[in-house]
Structure 1
Amino acid sequence: MPTFQAQYLTHLGAKGRVVLPAEVRKALGLKEGDRLLLRVREDGTLELLSAREVARRALGLFAHVAPGRSLVEELLAERREEARREEG
């Protein structure tokens, strides 16, 4: 079972709006106008991520790639090699 740093009760308002308590906004560094990503999980829970967190996680996906290494060039080279083998 997941652990929680904090827990807050909020409500669903007019036009489906959800109020994030000030403590949550402050803890996450959110301000009016910030973009948020909402994910509905298979278990029925909702995950809310700031755009900043989404970007941080995306960058983490490529942390293993050495500086100067081009994944695009590697992919193209692999495809060229496959095509050469298929032709020959």
Structure 2
Amino acid sequence: MTAYKGRVVSGGRLQIPADVRKELGLADGDDVRLEVVDGELRVRSLKSALTRIRAMVREHVPPGVSLAKELIADRRAEAARD
């Protein structure tokens, strides 16, 4: 694990070193997910956060099941009842 030095500048902005931005795949204007865990700040690209969430959901969905198709079928069934 490599430690880097950043700096908090005016307005509470955090300067992230270029090497860290590159490693995280961040570019100017990218959205990030910030999380405070046990007094530490974790910064994750939004893409990385979504990838992690999708993997967590996949653990609970059987292979071959499409949640989108199930949702559409549920909505159609609901609409037919009304």
Say which of 8, 12, 16 aligns to 1:12.
8
- Percent sequence identity over aligned pairs: 31
Say which of 62, 65, 70 aligns to 1:68.
65
CA distance in 2, matches of 1:35, 1:54: 11
Residue 41 of structure 2: aligned partner: 46
Which segments of 5 or more consecutive residues in structure 2 lack a partner in the other structure? Answer: 75-82
Which segments of 5 or more consecutive residues in structure 1 lack a partner in the other structure? Answer: 77-88
CA distance in 1, matches of 2:19, 2:64: 39
Say which of 24, 27, 51 aligns to 1:28.
24
**How many positions carry a matched residue from both structures?**
69
Please, what TM-score do these two structures have when normalized by structure 2?
Answer: 0.72
CA distance in 2, matches of 1:58, 1:26: 22
Richer in strand (by share): 2
1 or 2 for the larger relative contact order (CA 8 Å, sep ≥6)? 2
Larger Cα-atom Rg: 1
Q: Which amino acid aligns with 1:15?
A: G
Query: Residue by residue, what CA displacement relative to the aligned partner does 1:33-54 show, whole Å, maximum 9, x if unpaired?
Result: 110011112x211111110111
Query: Residue by residue, what CA displacement relative to the aligned partner does 1:29-81 show, whole Å, maximum 9, x if unpaired?
Result: 1100110011112x2111111101111011101223222255x67xx8xxxxx
Please, what TM-score do these two structures have when normalized by structure 1?
Answer: 0.67
